[in-house]
Amino acid sequence: MADQPIDQVNLVVESISSGMAVDVCSLYLANTEGEMLLLASRGLAAGSVRRVKIPAGKGLVGLVASSRHPVNLANAESHPSFYYVAETQEEHFHSFCGVPLVHTGKVIGVLVVQGRDVRQFSDEEQGFLVTLAAHLALLLANSPLATGEVANRNGRVSGIRGAPGIGIGYCRLCDHGELYAVANAPCDNVSKSLDDWHALLAAVRLEVQTEQAAIAGKLSDGVASIFSAYTMLLSDPSFIGHVEKNIRDGNWLPGALRHATQHFAELFRAMDDPYLQARHEDIHHLGNKLYNSWRGIQGADLPADRRIVLVGNQVSVSEIAAVPAGMLEGIVCLEGSSLSHTAVIANALGVPAVMGTGPIRHLANDSLLVVDGNNAQVMLNPDATVLAEYQKLEDDQRFLMKRLEQIREAPAITLDGTELTLYTNTGLLADISPGLVNGAQGVGLYRTEIPFMIRNSFPSEDEQVAVYQQVLAAYEGKPVHMRTLDIGGDKQLPYFPVENEENPALGWRGIRFTLDNSQLLMTQVRAMIRAGEDLDNLRILLPMISSTGELDDFCELLTDAVAQLQAEGYRVKRPALGVMVEVPAAISQIPFWAEKIDFISIGSNDLSQYLLALDRNNPRVAARYDHVHPAVLLEIQRILQMARLHRIPVSLCGEMASDPVAVVLLMGLGLRTLSMSATKIPRIKWLIRSLRLDTAEQLSEGAMTCMYPADIRLRVEAALQEAGLEDLFNRNTRGTPA
């Protein structure tokens, strides 16, 4: 079985050549310049493979790519587009059939078969190649050959934004051992393995406590409390019992640990919510920590005077904590997402991070790396010119961040005197402090799912109160909008499985799930109200509301919960109640709800996806997703008009709230409250303080006449650049916040 991507491609080429009984089978892959690199071949001269590049648009291969259509010729040399490449020694072959490899509408390669005889390939043979090419395109689109090994010739690798900024330092590889690579093996002594398991748990609990104490000086208490999630899992009877059962079933301890870790990680990975989905990485981190502790692996001592970039499949909190203070320049994760704990911590520390790069060739300890968190790129061993440019960018970035710090406590007010309110989104205790540090005026969205997800049973009312109190107390005097449990569909609780649904996005989730399980909803609502006793900053937010009946049912439950608690002696009152407008059906019903609710929160991510029928996390259609699509803007305009008519306060959360182009348009449409991740607040505040409201109004009015999202973006970006706000787009200029 081929292990490396290039071996897999060679195997495919060999198989096609043998299966079709052709003299030549070749695969060409497009590079960033549009040239076609001969990636693999059976039949052409071996010395030409991975060396020959056909210029963009040249030859029959270029014709296949430009036409996006098969080219099938009995005698290739007679065609006007024939382009002879001497290194391939293809003069011996006459027949030619080439088909394009297309992914997301772009030609990424060409598959070619050739023969010595002068004959045209049959329709069946051509159809077979077209089918193979469609499958090969999917394979290559996500392969390091396309994303790393070929694109990495100039030392530049792309990934996913984890945390913004520019960092320059020396590579420190973090991979000591990968639990998921461990195979099953017989357990020689079940009793001893069980004892070893409990000893390992005790040792790692102590390690976590020690690391938590060590990192507390580098991070706020809220961010350092990520370790509390690890401690909870290390004490979770369900997790512990899963490992024990596997050992008793005859698996050795590492195999049992791998099985349990993958089981719990997959429960999160299968969820629809990207935030909850990313929690699988945290379980994977902890599994690796347990495995490496079992192996006796200790972290390497790092020099106190050397700037470090941590690199690994995943980079754990423990490894971040081990870097000497002030010496961590960047983090690169070959796997992972922008919502992982690693990204959360990187944002809190102000350390640039790039996630999900895939394999990076020639990477080694002490390699010089540039981490461009703004554009999600990593440069390996850059030349002097590139390094000098990034050093200047790094200096500019530091200059900008210092300037942004000066406006942390300043209001988000336009040049002509209109003030906006900026909230933060949170869901982990670790997210609490970054919002306060960055000047959040409250919490616009607090996701309550996490306490439910990390347990092996429903959390009690008292346990929920303890969690919610920390958030409400941290933001005392500022509003905290707590969303009721948004679970169901494919966001299942590990201890309360529900039957899989064909279309979970339209299924049993959000308010539908909790109303059908009203005993859980009552417990949660009571916990929220109790947690807010004497603080008066709780706002309850309902997800996925689509009918008046759902709202009425919750209002009845809320009234009952307040009455119960007052009868039990708690000094509580009915909190403000709002709904998330994320289901299109909610928009038309806003006038019906005006007397039943106190505020509205537009959930821009789900609303955009439902309106456009596009899943932004599906790579096949993600490129078509843009929340400044005219349909989305027009519906938001309609929401704001109805809310204004009925005097209902409106906020907006989701990615639109931190997209500079979208923020300008939303301001112009009349929105005055935004909720975003903590690290985005300073830049958005700077944007608001640098513009006049009438400029935003003119831009939004013009946007409503555009048919294409790209045109809308071009108009607004041009206006922002003219206003001296180039740094919003990570360009190398010294912007100065007002």
Helix axes 341-349, 226-234, angle to 10 degrees: 150
Tokens of 601: 């929160």
Tokens of 186: 């017989």
Q: Are 678 and 437 in contact (CB under 8 A)?
A: yes
Please provide residue 491's backbone torsions phi and psi, each rounded to the nearest 5 degrees: -100, 75
Q: What distance separates the 2 farthest-apart alpha carbons in the chain?
A: 94
Q: Which amino acid is at 155?
A: G
3-state secondary structure of 161: strand
Judged on CB neighbours under 10 Å (0-12, 13-18, 19+), 260 is buried
Tokens of 702: 């013009």
The total number of residues written for the chain in this structure? 738
Tokens of 462: 């008292």
Q: Are 581 and 603 in contact (CB under 8 A)?
A: yes
Task: State the CB neighbour count (10 A cutoff) for residue 402.
Answer: 10
Active site residues: 341, 653
Residue (of 386, 383, 380) closest to 363 by Cα position: 380
Q: To which residue do tokens 């330092």 refer?
A: 169
Is the Cα torsion angle 330, 336, 342, 344 positive or negative in sign? positive
Q: What share of the chain is helix, strand, coil (3-state, %, to 5)?
A: 50, 15, 35
Please provide residue 503's backbone torsions phi and psi, each rounded to the nearest 5 degrees: -135, 80
Q: Are 365 and 342 in contact (CB under 8 A)?
A: no
Task: State the CB neighbour count (10 A cutoff) for residue 292.
Answer: 20
Angle CA 68–74–78, to nearest 5: 85
Q: Which amino acid is at 389?
A: E
Q: Are 387 and 404 in contact (CB under 8 A)?
A: no
Alpha-carbon gap, residue 646 to 711, rounded angstroms: 33
3-state secondary structure of 94: coil
The helix (run of H) or strand (run of E) holding residue 653 is strand 650-653
Alpha-carbon gap, residue 175 to 169, rounded angstroms: 18
Query: CB within 8 A of 161, min separation 6: which ones?
Result: 338, 354, 355, 373, 374, 375, 376
Q: To which residue do tokens 């290739």 refer?
A: 76
Residue (of 75, 143, 84) closest to 108 by Cα position: 143
Please provide residue 329's backbone torsions phi and psi, each rounded to the nearest 5 degrees: -95, -25
Query: CB within 8 A of 251, min separation 6: which ones?
Result: 184, 185, 186, 187, 259
Q: Are strands 353-355 and 106-115 parallel, antiparallel or unpaired?
A: unpaired
DSSP per-residue codes, 504-529: GGGSSBTHHHHHHTHHHHHHHHHHHH
Q: Are 293 and 176 in contact (CB under 8 A)?
A: no
